[in-house]
Amino acid sequence: MVEASAGFAALADPTRLQILDVLAHGPRCVCDLRDEVPIAANLLSYHLKVLREAGLVTCARRGRWIDYALDEAALARLEAALPGASRPRAAAGAAVAR
């Protein structure tokens, strides 16, 4: 549950959501992220660190560059942590009985 709360906390920032949106289209090196997310380099590094520590993105060093990508299992982990995630979902458009 601690891991999930870190993930949800990381998602609470609009800049980090923007970074995740860019990475949803495929892995990017930091130099490309800097072009697509208009913030100072030190702030971009900070936000990437938060996303990495929350387990939402992965990174791989390529020479002097670092490539970032979405962690494919992160969404499933966060979804599983939501209350009621283990219950079957009602069909789309179906009324939920209370």
Which CATH number fits the domain that encloses residue 6? 1.10.10.10
Q: Express each pLDDT in 6-65 by its tens digit.
A: 667 777 789 999 999 999 999 999 999 999 999 999 999 999 999 998 888 999 998 988
Q: Is residue 61 part of a domain?
A: yes
Q: Is residue 38 part of a domain?
A: yes
Q: Is residue 94 part of a domain?
A: no
- pLDDT, residue 33, reads 94
Q: Is residue 29 part of a domain?
A: yes
Q: Is residue 87 part of a domain?
A: no
Task: Give the number of domains in the chain.
Answer: 1
**Range of the structural domain that residue 76 is part of:** 2-81
Q: Name the band, by pLDDT with cuts 50, 70 and 90, for residue 98.
A: very low
**Average pLDDT in the 62-89 region?**
79
HEC assignment per residue over the chain: CHHHHHHHHHHCCHHHHHHHHHHCCCCEEHHHHHHHCCCCHHHHHHHHHHHHHCCCEEEEEECCEEEEEECCCHHHHHHHHCCCCCCCCCCCCCCCCC
